[in-house]
Every structure is written in C-alpha cells, then in structure tokens.
Amino acid sequence: MNDREARRQDMFGRVQTFGNANAADFAAGSKAAGHFARLAQIVRDLDVEKARQDGGPATAKEVLFDSLRLDLQGIARTARAIDAGEPGFADRFRSPAGANQQALLTAADAFARELADPAVAARFLAYELPADFVADLADDIAAIRSADADMQSDDQTGVASTAAVGRLIREGMAEVMQLDAIMNNKYARNRDRMRAWDSASHIDRAARRAKKPAGGTPPASTKAAG
C-alpha cells in the first residue's frame, strides 16, 4: 500500500468512526446507513489485503540459510581434520567463499552428493557429528527450495493484493462521495456536526520536502553595507 492509498484508508477509518458516533441520526435501512455499512466492509477488506502484503517469507528464508550455513561450516571443519590423514579429502567439502545464498545452496548440493556415499558419511560420524547430520542437511536444502516456491506464490499474491487495494480504495472513495452529499443536506443547519464531518472526510496532504536554497545554506545574519 502506497502513501496515497494509506492516507485514504486513514480517512475511511475516520468516516467510519463518525458514522458509528452518529448512527442514531440515521434510520436503519436508510441510504446513509447503507453507505456507512459498505464503507465498513471496505475497511475490513483493506485490512485483509494489507496483511497479505506485509507477510515475512523473506525473513523465514534467511533463518533457513543461517541453519544451512552452520551445517556447511561443521562439515567443512570436520573435512579439514580428516584431510590431515587423507590429503585431498577436504577439497571435496570446501565452504563457499562468500555469503551469497545461491553459492551456499550450490555448495550444500555438492556436499549432499558426496555424503550420499555411506563410507564417506562414516568418516564424519567418527568425529562425533550427529548420526542424522546427512538427513539434516537434506532437510535444510529441501526447506529452502520449498521457501523459494512459497515466495514465488507470495509474489503472485502480492500482485493480486495490490490490485485489490486499488479497487477497494476507489470503491471507498465512491461511498464517501455519496455520504458527503447526504451529510451536507442532513447537517446543513448543524455547524458542529458539519465541522466534525469535514474533519473526518478530509484527506491529509502528503508531507512535502523542504526545498534547499539554490545558493546553498544562507548565512545566519547579513549586515547591511554602510
């Protein structure tokens, strides 16, 4: 949700509050009551779409990669110890040089292929790695690939949610326009109520950035030439 949409959603909330506070002024089933009810539903729907846009799959994926990184470090460290008695062994289990996620996943796949040989895995088990360390590595790789699929699905959901937010904002503005006509007629002789309505239905302007002086920061004071 962008800033323009957020300011309109805030306005919808204020209008909804106004409607609740003054519900006794409007008969059940009246036109005004119907517009307030539809606006209330729009506010609820906007909250749902906003929640869909604010999900955290990227954060969950980072946690999975942290776990994978620890797996690889432990395996590589043990491989270097084995290498002391079997020169060249550690070359099969080199940790990726950087922290790039794709590099980590590529290295994990390579480690998993080597460890598929029970004789190779047994060398690591002799160094007291957990009995299920190979399965743990495979599970971490599978979890990351599953998270990738989830994120692609979330991206598609995000696109749909963005479109839904735009539609709901337009529908909400149409409801407020109808209510504005009704309020101006209903409260034409009630200045206090009209001021409350104008305040509720007002859309705040976006904050404007201060312009920098063309010639840089002016001096604090300027003396007149004498």
SS (H, E, C) 62-91: HHHHHHHHHHHHHHHHHHHHHHCCCCCHHH
Structure tokens at 4: 């323009």
Q: Is the pTM of this model over 0.75?
A: no
Note whether 61 and 147 are within 8 A (CB): yes
In a domain, 46, yes or no: yes
In a domain, 211, yes or no: no
Please compute the mean of the pLDDT values over residues 161-177 and round it to a whole number: 87
State how far the alpha carbon of 165 is from the alpha carbons of 31, 49, 203, in Å: 25, 7, 17
Q: What are the tens digits of pLDDT across the range 115-135? A: 999 999 999 999 998 898 999
**Which has more confidence, 8 or 99?**
8
> Which residue is associated with the tokens 């590529």?
106
Co-location of 116 and 181 in the same domain:
no
**Whole-number mean pLDDT of the chain?**
82
* Angstrom distance (rounded) from CA 141 to CA 67: 10
In a domain, 95, yes or no: yes
Tell me the residue type at 75: I
Co-location of 43 and 106 in the same domain:
no
pLDDT at 12: 94
Tell me the residue type at 6: A
Co-location of 38 and 73 in the same domain:
no
Angle between the N-to-C axes of helices 3-21 and 191-201, in degrees from 0 to 180, rounded to the nearest 10:
150
Co-location of 81 and 146 in the same domain:
yes
Co-location of 90 and 130 in the same domain:
yes
In a domain, 214, yes or no: no
pLDDT at 65: 80
The pLDDT confidence band at residue 148, using thresholds 50, 70 and 90, is low
Co-location of 101 and 181 in the same domain:
no
* Angstrom distance (rounded) from CA 200 to CA 16: 9
Please compute the mean of the pLDDT values over residues 207-220 and round it to a whole number: 52
pLDDT at 222: 40
pLDDT at 90: 94
The residues near 169 (Cβ < 8 Å, ≥ 6 apart) are 5, 8, 9, 46
* Angstrom distance (rounded) from CA 26 to CA 113: 72
**Which has more confidence, 88 or 59?**
88
Q: Which domain holds residue 87?
A: 57-150
State how far the alpha carbon of 113 is from the alpha carbons of 6, 73, 119, 121, 138, in Å: 50, 16, 13, 11, 10
The pLDDT confidence band at residue 221, using thresholds 50, 70 and 90, is very low
